[in-house]
Amino acid sequence: MTKPLLEIRNLQAAYGGIQAVKGIDLYIAPGELVALLGSNGAGKTTTLKTLAGLLHPASGQIQYDGKSLHNIAAHQRVAMGMALVPEGRGVFARLTVQENLQMGAYSRDDKKEIATDLARMYELFPRLAERRDQLAGTLSGGEQQMVAMARALMSRPRLLMLDEPSMGLAPLMVQKIFETIRDIAALGMSILLVEQNARLALQVAQRGYVMESGAITLSGEAGELLGSDAVQQAYLGS
Amino acid sequence: MEIFLQQIINGLVQGSVYALVALGYTMVYGILGLINFAHGEVVMIGAMLALSALTSLLGMGAPPALALLLSIGLAMLGCMVLGYSIERIAYRPLRHAPRLAPLITAIGVSIVLQNLAMMIWGREYHSFPQMIANHSHTFGGAIINDIQIIVFVLALAIMAGLMVVVHRTRLGRAMRAVAENQHAAQLMGVDINRVISITFMLGSALAAVAGMMISASYGLAHYYMGFLLGLKAFTAAVLGGIGNLRGAMLGGLLLGLIESLGAGYIGDFTGGFFGSNYQDVFAFFVLIIVLVFRPSGLLGERLAERA
């Protein structure tokens, strides 16, 4: 096995006084798309926030690219190649689409390359090109999700973390977003995808973890999980 | 008519200074949701620093123009250090405390700064040295002098510069991003503490210039001058819509005009019962009216919004 890009050992984290993550282990190999599934309140978002540095773990270790992330602030992790598209997207509603994307490149100072990437994002999301001077707050939910993803990609991440990218979107838009995730993964980026929509997530992922009340109860190849009775019953509704 | 024009000129000049100070309130509010009541004292310290520097530089025989530039620079630098320290020492430890705590702390900082200034500069009025002949110009029957012209033009230039920084630069984008969503800004790689510090320093630099302008206009500086000025500038920020930069500028100019026209005409309207010494009442009358009828201010978009 190649050395994992991200490795979590016995991670515990509390959120709002509640222990939301109770000692989980997880790894992501370079170039891998890993799904983290579970119902509402299972601790998925807390896990992502801890990985991004927005929350301090209560205990446990996070290794990224062979280095411990202990005491590394959220903004420094972006420069190390970690990007999180947060739950609810977190676009800057009063900044234009273009300014949002420029914010994504905040940690970079290679102006020429930033301009190239900006053009690339508008190719990837032509809708955003049409709306580049519009305030992001005036866009539809799906378009805002595109802004959030494009913005994260502008930091040239090696590990992209997505928190419920399908939430609140129309089915057609969900499909479009997942196609994009597949495209990005094909470029060799490592992706950690948190989803409630287990079927969709497992269709694009190589491996998956199932989380329940703060602990990982099941993990394996995506195909295996899709076929497993436990996942079928709990998340696929059949 | 001449009186009217005269009051308009006086009001715009005074208002442009209010606007500079109001920007400091509104920038900090926009980014932290905190009303930095110590901001008026930063203006006062700026005026005192500038005046001390100016007096000693002139005493050493420096040419007036050079002395003036140097002392503005020194006052700005001093106030930036002060603004940075206030945030670092007094507000940052309370970042996640209930909102009342930093507010009370702000009032505390204000009192500390006043007393500090009193210890350093004493209780007496300090007069602004007369360096250049302050020519008066007649303009449609009204009079405007050189200092007023300089104050107004400089204030507008600084405001334009600030708008460019906020709306056209990487730093300005980061400031607006932090103001809107601190978590998301961190996820973009923004060091929010750094951006907040810079915001305080920018606001304090504007305050220093404003302090210098006021002491030059009135020819005086005093350790207590920041109190009333701070309250008026805060009123201007609220009038424009606190958190909104354009609102602070508009509010400042409007408040200057209201005060000046009010003071100019109150005697006529009340048959001489109230005189122009009631000038200060207008600002607070405006504050009450705004808070009652339009708490979000003229340019403020609904309550939860910030700029």
Is pLDDT at B128 greater than 60 in this prediction? Answer: yes
Is pLDDT at B307 greater than 80 in this prediction? Answer: no
ipTM above 0.90, yes or no: yes
- Of A13, A9, A6, A57, nearest in space to A214 by CA: A13
Position B254 scores a pLDDT of: 97
Position A236 scores a pLDDT of: 63
Is pLDDT at A1 greater than 80 in this prediction? Answer: no
* Least confidently predicted of A49-63, A223-237, B112-126: A223-237
Inter-chain contact B190–A106, Cβ cutoff 8 Å? yes
Rounded percentage of chain A residues whose pLDDT exceeds 70: 98
Inter-chain contact A92–B187, Cβ cutoff 8 Å? no
Supply the range of the domain harboring residue B268.
Answer: 2-306
What separation in angstroms does the CA of A160 have from each of A42, B227, B256? 21, 51, 52
A76 chain-B contacts, CB cut-off 8 A: 189
pLDDT tens digit string along A2-44?
789 999 999 999 988 889 999 999 999 999 999 999 988 899 9
Q: Position B68: which residue type?
A: L
- Find the mean pLDDT for residues A84-107: 97
- Identify whether residues A112 and A162 lie together within a single domain: no
- Of B184, B10, B106, B250, nearest in space to A99 by CA: B184
> Confidence band (pLDDT; 50, 70, 90) for A205?
very high
Inter-chain contact B188–A155, Cβ cutoff 8 Å? yes
CA dihedral B241, B244, B245, B247 (to 10 degrees): -30
**Secondary structure element (H or E) that encloses residue B43, with its range:** helix B39-59
Position A76 scores a pLDDT of: 97
For chain B, the domain total comes to 1
What separation in angstroms does the CA of A195 have from each of A37, A88, A179, B59? 5, 13, 15, 72
CATH number at residue B169: 1.10.3470
A99 chain-B contacts, CB cut-off 8 A: 173, 176
Q: Is A203 exposed, middle or buried (0-12, 13-18, 19+ CB in 10 A)?
A: middle
pLDDT tens digit string along A49-80?
999 999 999 999 999 999 999 999 999 999 99
B170 chain-A contacts, CB cut-off 8 A: 102, 106
Tokens representing A206 are 């190589």
A-B contacts at Cβ under 8 angstroms: 66
Is pLDDT at B305 greater than 70 in this prediction? Answer: no
Phi-psi region of A41 (alpha: psi -120 to 50; beta: other; left: phi over 0): left
More confident residue, B265 or A7: A7
| Phi, psi angle pair for A137, to nearest 5° | -65, -15
pTM for the model: 0.93
Cα B34 to Cα B104: distance, rounded to the nearest angstrom: 11
Position B241 scores a pLDDT of: 95
Q: Of A108, A141, A156, which residue is a domain's last?
A: A156
- Residue reference for tokens 């991440």: A157
Tokens representing B254 are 């409007």
pLDDT tens digit string along B215-242?
999 999 999 999 999 999 999 999 999 9
pLDDT tens digit string along B58-97?
999 999 999 999 999 999 999 999 999 999 999 999 999 9
Supply the range of the domain harboring residue A196.
Answer: 1-81+158-238
Position B301 scores a pLDDT of: 65
Tokens representing B89 are 């020492």
Report yes or no: A155 and A107 within 8 Å, Cβ to Cβ.
yes
Position A238 scores a pLDDT of: 47
More confident residue, B265 or A113: A113
> Confidence band (pLDDT; 50, 70, 90) for B264?
confident
Q: Position A91: which residue type?
A: V
Report yes or no: B204 and B44 within 8 Å, Cβ to Cβ.
no
CATH number at residue A68: 3.40.50.300
- Identify whether residues A71 and A168 lie together within a single domain: yes
Is pLDDT at B304 greater than 60 in this prediction? Answer: no
Cα B189 to Cα A76: distance, rounded to the nearest angstrom: 6
- Identify whether residues A71 and A104 lie together within a single domain: no
* Least confidently predicted of A122-136, B33-47, B137-151: B137-151
For chain A, the domain total comes to 2
Inter-chain contact B177–A93, Cβ cutoff 8 Å? no
Inter-chain contact B187–A52, Cβ cutoff 8 Å? yes
Q: Of A129, A156, A183, which residue is a domain's last?
A: A156
- Identify whether residues A16 and A62 lie together within a single domain: yes
What is the DSSP code string of A109-165?
A: --HHHHHHHHHHHHHH-HHHHHTTTSBGGGS-HHHHHHHHHHHHHTT--SEEEEE-T
> Confidence band (pLDDT; 50, 70, 90) for A207?
very high
- Of A87, A10, A9, A29, nearest in space to A54 by CA: A87
A103 chain-B contacts, CB cut-off 8 A: 173-174, 177, 185, 188, 190
> Confidence band (pLDDT; 50, 70, 90) for A89?
very high
- Find the mean pLDDT for residues B254-261: 95
* Least confidently predicted of B103-117, B204-218, B257-271: B257-271
Report yes or no: B200 and B87 within 8 Å, Cβ to Cβ.
yes
- Find the mean pLDDT for residues B147-163: 97
- Identify whether residues A40 and A95 lie together within a single domain: no
pLDDT tens digit string along A106-154?
999 999 999 999 999 999 999 999 999 999 999 999 999 999 999 999 9
A83 touches chain B (CB under 8 A): yes
> B192 to chain A: nearest residue by CA?
A75
Tokens representing B74 are 């020194």
pLDDT tens digit string along A158-179?
999 999 999 999 999 999 999 9
SS3 A69: coil
Cα B151 to Cα B147: distance, rounded to the nearest angstrom: 6
Is pLDDT at A237 greater than 70 in this prediction? Answer: no
Report yes or no: B273 and B266 within 8 Å, Cβ to Cβ.
no
Cα A209 to Cα A32: distance, rounded to the nearest angstrom: 13
Inter-chain contact A92–B184, Cβ cutoff 8 Å? yes
Inter-chain contact B184–A78, Cβ cutoff 8 Å? no
